[in-house]
Amino acid sequence: MTQNPNYYNLHNVSHQHLSDHLSELVENTLNDLVNSKCISIEDEMDVSALNLGMIAAYYNISYVTVEIYTLSLKERTKLRGLLEVVSSSAEFETIPIRRHEDVLLRHEDVLLRRLYDRLPVKLEASAAEFESPHFKTFLLLQAHFSRIALPPDLVADQKVVLEKVLTFAQRFNAWLNALGAMDLAQMCVQVVWERESPLKQISHFEPDVVTRCTDAGVESVYDVMEMEDDKRNGLLQMTPAQMQDVAAFVNSYPTLDVSHELVKGEYTAGAPILLNVVLAKDEDDEDPSESDQTVIAPFFPIKKLANWWLVVGEPKTKQLLVIKKVTVNKTMKVKLEFTLPKGRHEVKLYVICDSYVGADHDITIGELDVAEGEESSDEDDSDEESDKMEE
């Protein structure tokens, strides 16, 4: 600061000026973190990290991004809203907006405008700022889902975006619209829109192949898996090399058996309820290695291992009760603990793959009668505990 005072907006480098400037910097920073609900300050001295702050630190996410998510995400936020919110993350400020001095070369904003015309999700005219890195991120995500070929510069930017988005998808898990965030993660890895057929993620399944399969009643990867060889070959009409690629994807596609047991007892408000879940991969995988866990995703530029989210929630109230992320090698037993307020609650278990579309499980646990008891004094305890479990 004494060597380069202008950089810090200092007009004097005396000891008093430096001390005043640093004190103001610390105070403003702490106030920003308090306003974003990342820390709390008691008695003007004691600083404690809150749940959002711990999440931001654990995932190396800016407190500004955490604040954007907290203010913008609602229980019923849909895919378009998720795309807008995640594109607004502070981390994307560094996505470059390139301008060429040579007028004979295309300016990047011209490319982005042409790209925007081809994409399905539009924004209000006032929000379409082609020189904004956040709007560029919004376009690059859509281009990825739509499998649009891009020039090398934009491909490099797109890879940076995708690396960060999978991390941000974790952050959405403080709400039951975490299910939407998990869809977003699957879309990033397998490069399909949520409305499209899950068959599109299989290698060489072009639109005509998907249409033939759908017309024949083949609608999922499991349907392709269970077909007789002759019937499959006749339906797909592919070369032997293409069929090998199809077989590689289908064989890697996860087949997960899920069983659960709710520990019986007197359920009271605020008291822990225990759900035991057993996850078992196909018995044919006798000795799965890390290579067996690697996701087959030809359009995703980053090597990734397949993981699973276990989510317990109450759909009627959109309340997430507990969430945990695991990697299943063969058989795994998982204990999920959650609390409920007094009343009757319809509870469901969601087992969701973070890398493949259509492999998820949606299981009704049943109605739970919860009697009056000593409820938690902090309404955010369940969310905090959920995120801690995931970490």
Model pLDDT, residue 389: 40
Model pLDDT, residue 379: 44
Q: What are phi and psi of 308, to 5 degrees?
A: -130, 140
Length of the chain in terms of residues written: 391
- Domains observed in the chain: 5-58 (1.10.10.10), 73-174 (1.10.3380.10), 256-390 (2.60.40.150)
Structure tokens belonging to residue 18: 């430096």
Q: Please name the amino acid found at residue 355.
A: S
Distance CA 316, CA 39 (A): 31
Model pLDDT, residue 177: 57
Cite the DSSP H helix spans in the chain. 15-35, 51-58, 63-72, 79-87, 108-117, 133-145, 152-171, 178-190, 207-215, 221-226, 229-236, 240-252, 290-293, 381-390
CB count in 10 Å sphere of residue 25:
11
Model pLDDT, residue 173: 54
Of the candidates 347, 337, 327, 349, the residue with the CA atom closest to the CA atom of residue 388: 337
Model pLDDT, residue 284: 58
pLDDT averaged over 10-residue windows placed end to end, the chain, 391 residues: 90 92 93 92 90 83 85 77 89 84 60 92 80 93 95 93 83 58 89 93 95 95 94 94 95 93 91 95 58 82 91 85 89 94 94 94 93 59 44 43
- DSSP element (H, E) containing 335: strand 331-338
The model's pTM is 0.79
